[in-house]
Amino acid sequence: MKKREFKTESKRVLDLMINSIYTNKEIFLRELISNASDAIDKLYYLSLTDKKMKVNRNDLKIRIDVDKDNRTITITDNGCGMTEKELENNLGVIAESGSLHFKEENKDQSDVNVIGQFGVGFYSAFMVSDKVTVESKSYLDEPATIWESSGVEGYTLSPSTKKEVGTVITLHIKEDTEDYNYSDLLTEYKIRDIVKKYSDYISYPIMMEVENSRKKEDSDEYETYKEVVTINSMVPLWKKDKKKIKNEEYNNFYTDKFYDYEEPLKVMHFNMEGSVNFTALLYIPSHAPYDYYSKEYEKGLQLYTNGVLIMDKCHDLLPDYFSFVKGVIDTEDIPLNISRETLQEDKNLKLIAKSIESRIKKELLELLDKDREKYEEFYKAFGMGLKFGIYNDYGMNKDKLQDLVMFYSSKEEKLVTLKEYVSRMKKDDENIYYACGESISKVSMLPQVERIKDSHEVLYLTEYVDEFAVMTLHEFDGKHFVNVSSESTDLSTEEEKEHIKKENTDNKDMLEKMKEVLEGEVSDVRFTSKLKNHPVCLTTEGEVSTSMEKVINAMPTDEKIKANMVLEINVSHKISDKLKELYKKDKDEFVKYTKVIYFEARLIEGLPIDNPTEMSNLMCDIMAK
Ligand code: ADP
pLDDT the model gives residue 343 = 79
pLDDT the model gives residue 368 = 97
Q: In angstroms, what is the span from residue 34 Cα to ligand 1's centroid?
A: 9
Who's near 303: CB < 8 A, 6+ residues apart?
A: 309, 310, 311, 314, 317, 329, 331, 334
**Phi-psi sector, 464: left (phi>0), alpha (psi -120 to 50), beta:** alpha
The CATH number of the structural domain formed by 2-230 is 3.30.565.10
Predicted confidence (pLDDT) at residue 98 exceeds the cutoff of 50: no
Q: In angstroms, what is the span from residue 90 Cα to ligand 1's centroid?
A: 6
CATH architecture designation of domain 237-370: 2-Layer Sandwich (3.30)
Any residues with Cβ below 6 Å from ligand 1, and which?
31, 35-36, 39, 77, 79-82, 90-91, 95, 97, 119, 121-122, 167
Q: What percent of the chain has pLDDT over 90?
A: 60
Q: In angstroms, what is the span from residue 56 Cα to ligand 1's centroid?
A: 22
> Which of 364, 390, 397, 360 is closest to 378 using CA atoms?
364
For residue 164, report the phi and psi dihedrals to the nearest 5 degrees: -80, 145
Distance separating alpha carbons of residues 533 and 523, to the nearest angstrom: 24
Q: How confident is the model over 68-88, as a mean pLDDT?
A: 96
pLDDT the model gives residue 104 = 38
* Confidence bin at 106 (pLDDT 50/70/90): very low
For residue 583, report the phi and psi dihedrals to the nearest 5 degrees: -60, -35
Alpha helices in 119-237 (DSSP H): 188-198
| Range of weakest confidence among 87-96, 232-241, 365-374, 612-621 | 87-96
Q: In angstroms, what is the span from residue 86 Cα to ligand 1's centroid?
A: 9
Contact 471, 521 (CB under 8 A): no
Q: In angstroms, what is the span from residue 338 Cα to ligand 1's centroid?
A: 24
pLDDT the model gives residue 338 = 67
Q: Positive or negative CA dihedral for 583, 588, 591, 597?
A: negative
Q: What is the 3-state secondary structure (H, E, C) of 85-153?
A: HHHHHHHCCCCCCCCCCCCHHHHHCCHHHHHHHHCCHHHHHHHCEEEEEEEEECCCCCCCEEEEECCCC
The CATH number of the structural domain formed by 492-625 is 1.20.120.790
Predicted confidence (pLDDT) at residue 103 exceeds the cutoff of 60: no
Predicted confidence (pLDDT) at residue 96 exceeds the cutoff of 60: no
Give the residue, out of 35, 145, 199, with the most ligand 1 atoms within 8 A of its beta carbon, to mutate for a pocket test. 35
pLDDT the model gives residue 228 = 95
Q: How confident is the model over 377-389, as a mean pLDDT?
A: 95
pLDDT the model gives residue 22 = 66
Residue closest via CA to ligand 1's atom 15 equals 90
Q: Greater confidence, 98 or 527? A: 527
Question: What letter represents residue 438's amino acid?
Answer: E
Q: How confident is the model over 181-204, as a mean pLDDT?
A: 91
Q: Which of 46-50, 109-113, 151-155, 277-281 has the highest average model confidence (pLDDT)?
A: 277-281
Residue closest via CA to ligand 1's atom 17 equals 90
Residue closest via CA to ligand 1's atom 9 equals 122
Number of neighbouring beta carbons within 10 Å of residue 279: 18
**Phi-psi sector, 187: left (phi>0), alpha (psi -120 to 50), beta:** beta
Distance separating alpha carbons of residues 447 and 606, to the nearest angstrom: 12
Query: In angstroms, how far is CA 504 from the centroid of its own chain?
Result: 52
> Which of 125, 145, 123 is closest to 136 using CA atoms?
145
Distance separating alpha carbons of residues 464 and 382, to the nearest angstrom: 15
Q: In angstroms, what is the span from residue 296 Cα to ligand 1's centroid?
A: 21
Predicted confidence (pLDDT) at residue 19 exceeds the cutoff of 50: yes
Where exactly are the structural domains of the chain? 2-230, 237-370, 492-625
* Confidence bin at 120 (pLDDT 50/70/90): low
Which of helix, strand or coil describes residue 526?
strand
Residue closest via CA to ligand 1's atom 22 equals 36
Who's near 65: CB < 8 A, 6+ residues apart?
A: 72, 73, 74, 76, 208, 209
pLDDT the model gives residue 544 = 78
pLDDT the model gives residue 155 = 94
**Phi-psi sector, 168: left (phi>0), alpha (psi -120 to 50), beta:** beta
Predicted confidence (pLDDT) at residue 320 exceeds the cutoff of 60: yes
Per-residue model confidence as pLDDT tens digits over 519-557: 889 999 999 887 878 899 988 887 777 777 877 777 766
Q: Greater confidence, 597 or 551? A: 597
Q: In angstroms, what is the span from residue 122 Cα to ligand 1's centroid?
A: 7
Residue closest via CA to ligand 1's atom 23 equals 36
Atom of ligand 1 nearest to the CA of 79: 24
pLDDT the model gives residue 101 = 42
pLDDT the model gives residue 464 = 83
Q: How confident is the model over 363-386, as a mean pLDDT?
A: 96
pLDDT the model gives residue 170 = 98
Distance separating alpha carbons of residues 181 and 184, to the nearest angstrom: 6
Specify the pairing of strand 155-159 against strand 145-149.
antiparallel
pLDDT the model gives residue 605 = 83
Contact 430, 422 (CB under 8 A): no
One fold for 2-230 and 492-625? no
Query: In angstroms, how far is CA 424 from the centroid of its own chain?
Result: 33
Distance separating alpha carbons of residues 416 and 410, to the nearest angstrom: 10
pLDDT the model gives residue 58 = 92
- Using CA atoms, how far residue 176 sits from 27, 170, 180, in Å, is 18, 18, 6
Question: What letter represents residue 435's amino acid?
Answer: A
Predicted confidence (pLDDT) at residue 109 exceeds the cutoff of 50: no
CA triplet 94, 100, 105: central angle to 5 degrees? Answer: 125
pLDDT the model gives residue 94 = 59
Question: How much is the mean pLDDT over the chain?
Answer: 88
Contact 214, 189 (CB under 8 A): no
> Which of 476, 492, 404 is closest to 434 using CA atoms?
476
Q: In angstroms, what is the span from residue 77 Cα to ligand 1's centroid?
A: 12
Alpha helices in 481-573 (DSSP H): 494-506, 508-517, 546-554
> Which of 351, 359, 358, 357 is closest to 331 using CA atoms?
351
pLDDT the model gives residue 97 = 41
Predicted confidence (pLDDT) at residue 198 exceeds the cutoff of 50: yes
Question: What letter represents residue 290's amino acid?
Answer: Y
Specify the pairing of strand 458-461 against strand 431-436.
parallel
* Confidence bin at 485 (pLDDT 50/70/90): confident
Distance separating alpha carbons of residues 42 and 594, to the nearest angstrom: 72
For residue 98, report the phi and psi dihedrals to the nearest 5 degrees: 75, 5
pLDDT the model gives residue 404 = 98
Atom of ligand 1 nearest to the CA of 118: 3
| Range of weakest confidence among 56-70, 292-306, 556-570 | 556-570
Q: What is the reported pTM?
A: 0.70
Q: How confident is the model over 354-372, as a mean pLDDT?
A: 97
* Confidence bin at 510 (pLDDT 50/70/90): very high
> Which of 38, 56, 39, 37 is closest to 137 using CA atoms?
39
Atom of ligand 1 nearest to the CA of 35: 20
Contact 172, 131 (CB under 8 A): yes
pLDDT the model gives residue 152 = 85
Q: In angstroms, what is the span from residue 262 Cα to ligand 1's centroid?
A: 23
